[in-house]
Amino acid sequence: MKRKLLEVLLLLGLLCAVLCGCGDGSPEKTTEDGQTSGSSNSDAAAAADGRENAITVGIAQDLDDSLDPHKVVAAGTKEVMFNVFEGLVKPSPEGDLLPAVASEFSLSEDQTTYTFTLREGVRFHNGEPVTVDDVIWSIQRCAAATEAGVFQEEAFSVIQKLEAPDEKTVVITIQEPNSEFLSHLTVAVLPKDYTGQDAAPVGTGPFRFVSRAAQDHIVLEKFQDYWGEPAYLDKVTFKIIENADSIMMSLQSGAIDLFSHLTSTQVAQLGDEFYIEEGTMNLVQAMYLNNAEKPFDDVRVRQALCYAVDKQGIIDLAFDGYGSPIGSSMYPAFSKYFDESLTNYYTRDIEKAKALLADAGYPDGFSMTITVPSNYQPHIDTAQVIVEQLKEIGVNAEIQLVEWGSWVEDTYNGRKFQATVVGVDASTMTARALLERFVSDYRKNFINYNSPAYDELFQRVLASGSDEEQTALYKEMEAELTKNAANVYIQDLADLVAVRKGLEGVRFYPIYVLDLSTVRYSA
Amino acid sequence: MKYALRRVAMLFLTMLLVSLFTFAAFELISGDTATAMLGTEATPERLEALRTELGLDRPMPVRYGEWLAGFFTGNLGVSTSYHQPVGELIAPKMRVTLCLSLLTFLLIIAVSIPLGLWSAGRAGGALDGLGTAFNQLCMAVPPFFTGILLSWGFGIVLRWFVPGEFPDPAVDFTGAVRYLFFAAVALAIPRIAMTVRMLRSTIQAEMRKDYVRTAISRGNDRAAVLRRHVLKNALPPVVTFLAQTLAEIVAGSIVVEQVFAIPGLGRILVASISNRDYPTVQAIVVILAFWVVLAGMAADLIGQRIDPRLRLGGGE
């Protein structure tokens, strides 16, 4: 009898589980939405009515780290949140810095004192006006980084004085002239007394954050009180779709209006409803070599690899010809610093490569492992072509796919690898962001590059006060990397964006962002 | 009563072990929550600080104990990647996955049992060979492939649903069910095929037994014998199989959720593993373990209802 009771109870339990799982359509349980406002429930309605002034943008990865701009790590998160945050200045598509939260700024005669005037009437998304206290607090937060998770902005270590003489002015004094300092003031200005940035961020950008549902979507809405040119669209929903097949389905079904970073194969499958905007990803894609590891500690071996790898061949074979070949740690969008003559420094020459290998003591080649993070198909494809190309000089390469977390831990931070194919980006719009990495004692020098000449060039950059001289020195550094074959440089990947016909205004930046403020339905 | 206690104890033990193993697995794989959060921006000092803040610097048994204590008091912790309470984070996903599983299960039962009976009844017919081949094919097709075909056929060509636009069940429940139906079909097809084959072979084995021949020779209608006597004896193994299916559907839904872009438990589980978001992973894994054990128990109990000989000793 008792067993029967248990039976009934269990079945009831099962039924309950299923019913509450399914039948729960009651509005009070909709916890996903409505964190900042209740208006986000019109989601489904908006999707049904295509004529609403809203679009759905597909993204291949979730924003699954902190949304606090001072803590965020993932490039994909920064890309989306670019629409929500601004600093005193903000980057333009041309690579210049435009005044944003500050309406104007001036630099003193000795180039050490920056004076910013706050723009009249700038408000945060929560309605509060931006004050000098907010600005100073935001800069200090990044300079000190005492809060766990907040990244220390190393460039701010040169700040000597940070003060507000009146309610509209912020004066920053730095130790010595530094032409790159300004580019770091793109750091987001946040409200001082707000503590919810991790999950419900508040900034000053043209769009405000409304809600998100993990592994599902993120909703941004036009910020009505934006100080500048307002966004055209009222609402943008970012839909997270990881699977390559369902990305294609979602584009074809009409669920998605815009999708960046597509592959050339995906683009070829798209129908007539879309057109393609081609930009650059602003990454230095290369086979990065561990310069401290045998046999890559020998410059001749590294050069042999450079002679054996055919960049254009990779671009043609794996990317249908989309992509810009590069020859050093700089990409073409940084036109000021990009030195085109380095791109073809090594042209494919099997004989020369073999001779160099023989010279280095490897007449019969050797075996090596190329570590590739498994979540980046372009890098995997590139590595596969490289493996084939290296066979011709007797180098037997093997691809080892690792999960991203392991790559970060072992390859990047642990520096336990021989070669790895990845793309390295610039965190700010400065040449330094790309080139300081290879200074021998820099903590991000994951390839263990060690060249006294390079280090000395960098010291001269730091000491130099003139932009012109710095640019020349940076170019010398690039040439040094190329000649020493620090890495096997390949390309800056093409950024192929599918845009639904009838939409326009996609702009590309020299950094990895997706600006939606200018996207609009054509009249 | 002893029996009941034993089953419940088993349930708890299983969940406990599963959670412990998951916890231990996180210790073994390279990278922890702090390295996943900081990524390429990690420095030793920063990792240290973050580990201290997250409490990762303490020994594993202490952290496990803490998690366990939290679990029993209803506090599942805060997701390290989404900065949101885990319960709040996974509740909507759980609803979606449960709904998908239930739909799939209903589909399997509704299609496979009549189909199995029908095909067992006409074994050896002209079309039988063809049917078996088709069945084999259905078993072999992986759900993600069927999923792509269904999305394309019903979504892109026929426009019966919009792939990639899963409606929020809280807003548009019927729309959500309609969307899930296609995913359920993809998930159900191989399992329907398996169930049909199994039902068919057990029925055929049963039909060859003496009691069936006796019953028919005494003038009973063949179909009635099949329904009244044979089915009852052929069913227990099928019920066990279906219960296993119930557990497997949840696992299979991880793949199908990806193909149909459905925000369910599977996707968040995979993402949380790569983010080393252990509070979320722990919660999901324990829920799945609970589900699997529960399905097994339900199968045992139903089997015993049908066939009293299966009841374990130690009952009354």
In DSSP notation, A160-204 reads: EEEEEEETTEEEEEESS--TTGGGGGGSPP--TT---TTTS----
Flag whether pLDDT at A435 surpasses 90: yes
How many residues does this entry show for chain A?
A: 523
The shortest C-alpha distance from A496 to chain B (Å) reads 20
Q: Are B159 and B33 contained in the same domain?
A: no
Flag whether pLDDT at A23 surpasses 70: no
- HSE-up of B245 (CA within 13 Å, CB side)? 26
- CATH topology for A2-82+199-280+495-521 is D-Maltodextrin-Binding Protein; domain 2 (3.40.190)
Q: Quick check: B40 and A214 CB within 8 A? A: no
Most B CBs within 10 Å, among A19, A30, A216, A422, to test the B interface: A216
pLDDT for A36 equals 37
d(CA A408, CA B40): 6
Backbone torsions φ then ψ of A17, nearest 5 degrees: -55, -45
Rg for chain B, CA atoms, rounded = 24
d(CA B35, CA B42): 7
Q: Which residue has the higher pLDDT, A148 or B202?
A: B202
Q: Is B228 a domain residue?
A: no
Q: Which residues of B touch A410 (CB under 8 A)?
A: 30
d(CA B290, CA B281): 14
Q: Are B286 and B164 contained in the same domain?
A: yes
Q: Quick check: B94 and A10 CB within 8 A? A: no
Q: Which residues of B touch A152 (CB under 8 A)?
A: 46
Name the pLDDT band for B123 (thresholds 50, 70, 90). low
Give the range among A94-98, A146-150, B202-206 with minimum mean pLDDT: A146-150
pLDDT for B224 equals 83
SS percent in chain A: helix, strand, coil, step 5: 35, 25, 45
Flag whether pLDDT at B245 surpasses 50: yes
d(CA A167, CA A116): 11
Give the range of the structural domain holding residue B42, as residue numbers without chain letter.
Answer: 2-73
Q: How many CB pairs under 8 A join A and B?
A: 205
Q: Is B225 a domain residue?
A: no
pLDDT for A334 equals 86
Give the range among A159-168, A451-460, A461-470, A483-492 with minimum mean pLDDT: A461-470
Segments making up each domain of chain A, as ranges:
2-82+199-280+495-521, 89-186, 284-492
pLDDT for A7 equals 55
Q: Is A246 on the interface with B (CB under 8 A)?
A: yes
Most B CBs within 10 Å, among A12, A57, A413, to test the B interface: A413
pLDDT for A22 equals 44
SS3 A330: coil
Flag whether pLDDT at B242 surpasses 80: yes
Q: Is A361 on the interface with B (CB under 8 A)?
A: no
Q: Are B120 and B158 contained in the same domain?
A: yes
Q: Quick check: B274 and A410 CB within 8 A? A: no
**Residue A17: closest CA among chain B residues belongs to which residue?**
B98
Q: Which residue has the higher pLDDT, A19 or A516?
A: A516
What average pLDDT does this structure show over A176-186?
A: 87
Name the pLDDT band for A72 (thresholds 50, 70, 90). confident
Q: Are B176 and B48 contained in the same domain?
A: no
pLDDT for A38 equals 36
pLDDT for A418 equals 96
Q: Are B63 and B99 contained in the same domain?
A: no
Give the range among A12-16, A85-89, A208-212, A224-228 with minimum mean pLDDT: A12-16
User: What does pLDDT average to over chain A?
Assistant: 87
Give start and end residues of each alpha helix (H) in A392-510: 404-406, 431-435, 452-463, 467-483
Q: Do A288 and A447 meet the contact criterion of CB atoms below 8 Å apart?
A: yes
Neighbour-count burial of B174, counting CB atoms closer than 10 A to its CB (0-12 exposed, 13-18 middle, 19+ buried): exposed
- Give the CATH number for residue B124: 1.10.3720.10
What average pLDDT does this structure show over B267-290?
A: 88
Flag whether pLDDT at A456 surpasses 70: yes
DSSP 8-state class, residue B137: H
Structure tokens at A117: 């005037």
**Residue B163: closest CA among chain A residues belongs to which residue?**
A250
Most B CBs within 10 Å, among A6, A14, A22, to test the B interface: A22
- Those residues with Cβ within 8 angstroms of residue A192's Cβ, 6 or more apart along the chain or in another chain: A131, A133, A134, A137, A138
**Residue B154: closest CA among chain A residues belongs to which residue?**
A253
- pTM reported for the whole predicted model: 0.82
Q: How many percent of chain A have pLDDT more than 70?
A: 90
ipTM of predicted complex: 0.83
Q: Are B103 and B188 contained in the same domain?
A: yes
Structure tokens at A417: 């690898």
Q: Is A149 on the interface with B (CB under 8 A)?
A: yes
Give the range among A279-293, A344-358, B6-20 with minimum mean pLDDT: B6-20
CATH superfamily ID and name for A89-186: Dipeptide-binding Protein; Domain 1 (3.90.76.10)
pLDDT for B292 equals 85
End-to-end CA distance of chain A: 75
Q: Are B154 and B301 contained in the same domain?
A: yes
Q: Are B131 and B240 contained in the same domain?
A: yes
Provide the β-strand partners of residue A274.
A500
Flag whether pLDDT at A363 surpasses 90: yes
pLDDT for B312 equals 59
pLDDT for A316 equals 95
Q: Which residues of B touch A6 (CB under 8 A)?
A: 3-4, 7, 301
Nearest to A22 among B88, B102, B159 (CB): B102
Nearest to B49 among A14, A148, A375 (CB): A148
Q: Which of B156, B175, B184 is nearest to B256 (CA)?
A: B184
Q: Are B25 and B63 contained in the same domain?
A: yes
Structure tokens at A66: 């902190």
- HSE-up of A4 (CA within 13 Å, CB side)? 4
Name the pLDDT band for A15 (thresholds 50, 70, 90). very low
Backbone torsions φ then ψ of B213, nearest 5 degrees: -60, -40
Q: Is B32 a domain residue?
A: yes
Q: Which residue has the higher pLDDT, B316 or A206?
A: A206
What average pLDDT does this structure show over A217-225?
A: 95
Q: Quick check: B301 and A10 CB within 8 A? A: yes
Question: Are β-strands A520-521 and A503-504 bridged in parallel, bridged antiparallel, or unpaired?
Answer: antiparallel
Name the pLDDT band for A41 (thresholds 50, 70, 90). very low
Tens of pLDDT, residues B142-199: 888 999 999 999 988 888 888 888 888 888 889 999 999 999 999 999 999 999 988 8
Q: Is B229 a domain residue?
A: no
pLDDT for A34 equals 37
Name the pLDDT band for A40 (thresholds 50, 70, 90). very low
**Residue A427: closest CA among chain B residues belongs to which residue?**
B41
Q: Do B185 and B146 meet the contact criterion of CB atoms below 8 Å apart?
A: yes
Name the pLDDT band for A398 (thresholds 50, 70, 90). very high
What average pLDDT does this structure show over B192-210?
A: 88
Q: Do A435 and A328 meet the contact criterion of CB atoms below 8 Å apart?
A: no
Flag whether pLDDT at A54 surpasses 50: yes
CA–CA distances in Å: residue A345 to residues A268, A314, A403, A482: 32, 17, 34, 8
Sign of torsion over alpha carbons A307, A309, A311, A313: positive
The shortest C-alpha distance from B93 to chain A (Å) reads 9
Q: Do A494 and A280 meet the contact criterion of CB atoms below 8 Å apart?
A: yes
Q: Is B221 a domain residue?
A: no
Sign of torsion over alpha carbons B193, B194, B198, B204: positive
Q: Is B175 a domain residue?
A: yes
Q: Are B69 and B131 contained in the same domain?
A: no
Give the range among A409-418, A447-456, B81-90, B248-257 with minimum mean pLDDT: B248-257
Q: Which of A253, A55, A500, A44 is nearest to B148 (CA)?
A: A253
pLDDT for B9 equals 87
Which helix (H) or strand (E) is B298 found in, with range? helix B278-306
**Residue A67: closest CA among chain B residues belongs to which residue?**
B82
Q: Quick check: B49 and A246 CB within 8 A? A: no
pLDDT for A110 equals 87
CATH superfamily ID and name for A284-492: Dipeptide-binding Protein; Domain 3 (3.10.105.10)
pLDDT for A3 equals 52
Give the range among A206-210, A380-384, A502-506, B292-296 with minimum mean pLDDT: B292-296
d(CA A383, CA A400): 10
Q: Are B53 and B104 contained in the same domain?
A: no
Backbone torsions φ then ψ of A61, nearest 5 degrees: -135, 150
Q: Is A199 on the interface with B (CB under 8 A)?
A: yes
The shortest C-alpha distance from B202 to chain A (Å) reads 26
- Tell me how many domains chain B contains: 2
Most A CBs within 10 Å, among B37, B105, B255, B293, to test the A interface: B37
Most B CBs within 10 Å, among A152, A253, A270, to test the B interface: A253
Q: Do A281 and A495 meet the contact criterion of CB atoms below 8 Å apart?
A: yes
Q: Within its chain, how far is the Cα of A272 from the centroid?
A: 30
d(CA A200, CA A195): 9
The shortest C-alpha distance from B70 to chain A (Å) reads 22
Flag whether pLDDT at A20 surpasses 60: no
Q: Are B194 and B298 contained in the same domain?
A: yes
